[in-house]
Amino acid sequence: MELRSIDGWFKNRRLALVFEARVGKGKIIMSGVDLHTNIDERLEGKQLLYSLKKYMTTIDFNPKTTIKINQIKSLLK
Protein backbone atom coordinates (compact mmCIF):
# COMPACT_ATOMS: atom_id res chain seq x y z
CA MET A 1 0.00 0.00 0.00
CA GLU A 2 1.27 3.43 -0.91
CA LEU A 3 -0.37 6.81 -0.83
CA ARG A 4 1.39 9.08 -3.29
CA SER A 5 1.29 12.58 -4.61
CA ILE A 6 3.01 14.02 -7.66
CA ASP A 7 4.96 17.22 -7.05
CA GLY A 8 4.01 18.88 -10.34
CA TRP A 9 3.55 18.30 -14.04
CA PHE A 10 7.08 19.47 -14.89
CA LYS A 11 9.11 17.06 -12.76
CA ASN A 12 6.38 14.47 -12.21
CA ARG A 13 8.15 12.84 -9.24
CA ARG A 14 6.12 10.26 -7.33
CA LEU A 15 6.33 11.14 -3.64
CA ALA A 16 5.14 8.68 -1.00
CA LEU A 17 3.04 10.15 1.81
CA VAL A 18 2.37 6.77 3.44
CA PHE A 19 4.09 3.44 2.87
CA GLU A 20 4.23 0.02 4.46
CA ALA A 21 7.13 -2.41 4.75
CA ARG A 22 8.49 -5.42 6.54
CA VAL A 23 11.29 -4.56 8.97
CA GLY A 24 13.07 -7.41 10.70
CA LYS A 25 10.38 -9.72 12.09
CA GLY A 26 7.73 -6.99 12.09
CA LYS A 27 5.75 -4.67 9.87
CA ILE A 28 5.58 -0.89 9.77
CA ILE A 29 3.52 1.91 8.28
CA MET A 30 5.35 5.22 7.85
CA SER A 31 3.56 8.49 7.22
CA GLY A 32 4.82 11.87 6.09
CA VAL A 33 1.47 13.29 7.15
CA ASP A 34 1.31 14.78 10.65
CA LEU A 35 -1.19 12.52 12.41
CA HIS A 36 -0.69 13.89 15.93
CA THR A 37 -0.69 17.70 16.09
CA ASN A 38 -4.19 19.00 16.87
CA ILE A 39 -5.62 15.77 15.48
CA ASP A 40 -9.02 16.35 17.11
CA GLU A 41 -9.33 19.60 15.16
CA ARG A 42 -8.37 18.03 11.80
CA LEU A 43 -11.09 15.60 10.79
CA GLU A 44 -9.29 14.38 7.66
CA GLY A 45 -6.16 13.56 9.69
CA LYS A 46 -8.23 11.89 12.38
CA GLN A 47 -9.98 9.74 9.76
CA LEU A 48 -6.71 8.81 8.05
CA LEU A 49 -5.17 7.76 11.39
CA TYR A 50 -8.27 5.71 12.24
CA SER A 51 -8.23 4.03 8.82
CA LEU A 52 -4.52 3.20 9.02
CA LYS A 53 -4.89 1.70 12.51
CA LYS A 54 -7.87 -0.35 11.40
CA TYR A 55 -6.02 -1.55 8.26
CA MET A 56 -3.05 -2.65 10.38
CA THR A 57 -5.30 -5.09 12.27
CA THR A 58 -6.45 -6.90 9.11
CA ILE A 59 -4.88 -9.75 7.14
CA ASP A 60 -4.59 -7.31 4.23
CA PHE A 61 -1.73 -5.61 6.10
CA ASN A 62 0.91 -7.80 4.51
CA PRO A 63 3.74 -5.62 3.12
CA LYS A 64 5.60 -7.03 0.13
CA THR A 65 8.64 -4.75 0.45
CA THR A 66 11.34 -5.44 3.04
CA ILE A 67 13.62 -2.68 4.32
CA LYS A 68 16.38 -2.62 6.92
CA ILE A 69 16.08 -0.85 10.26
CA ASN A 70 18.96 1.49 9.37
CA GLN A 71 16.94 2.70 6.37
CA ILE A 72 14.08 3.62 8.72
CA LYS A 73 16.49 5.36 11.09
CA SER A 74 17.92 7.41 8.20
CA LEU A 75 14.39 8.66 7.39
CA LEU A 76 13.95 9.90 10.96
CA LYS A 77 17.09 12.06 11.05
CA distance 43 to 68: 33
pTM reported for the whole predicted model: 0.74
Q: Which pLDDT value is given to residue 9?
A: 60
Q: Which pLDDT value is given to residue 10?
A: 64
At residue 29, the 3 state secondary structure works out as strand
pLDDT along the chain (77 residues), means of 10: 55 74 94 90 93 96 94 84
Q: Which pLDDT value is given to residue 43?
A: 93
Q: Which pLDDT value is given to residue 5?
A: 55
The domain locations on the chain are: 2-75
